[in-house]
Amino acid sequence: ALCQKTVGGNWKVIHNTSTMLPTNGCDIRTTLDIDLQALAHSSLLKALQASEAAYGCALVMETKTGHLKAMVNLSRTDTGQYRERYNYAVGSQGTTEPGSTFKLVSILALLEEKAVDLNDTIDTSGGTYQFYDRVMKDVKRGGYGEITVQEAFEKSSNTAISRLVQEAFGDNPQKFVKYIERLKLSKPLGFQMVGEGIPLIKTPQSANWSGVTLPWMSIGYELQVTPLQIL
pLDDT given at position 5: 53
Residue 88 CB coordination number (10 Å) = 25
Amino acid 29: pLDDT: 81
pTM passes above 0.85 = no
**Can you give the pLDDT at residue 75?**
97
Q: Would you write out the chain's pLDDT as a tens digit for each of its 231 residues?
A: 455 556 666 666 666 656 667 777 777 788 999 999 999 999 999 999 999 999 999 999 999 999 999 999 999 999 999 999 999 999 999 999 999 999 999 999 999 999 999 999 999 989 999 999 999 999 999 999 999 999 999 999 999 999 999 999 999 999 999 999 999 999 999 877 788 999 999 999 999 999 999 999 999 999 999 999 999
pLDDT at 12: 61
Q: State the pLDDT at residue 207.
A: 97
Q: Are strands 146-148 and 121-123 parallel, antiparallel or unpaired?
A: antiparallel
pLDDT at position 4 is 56
Angle among Cα 217, 220, 222 to the nearest 5 degrees reads: 50
CA atoms within 13 A on the CB side of 216: 19
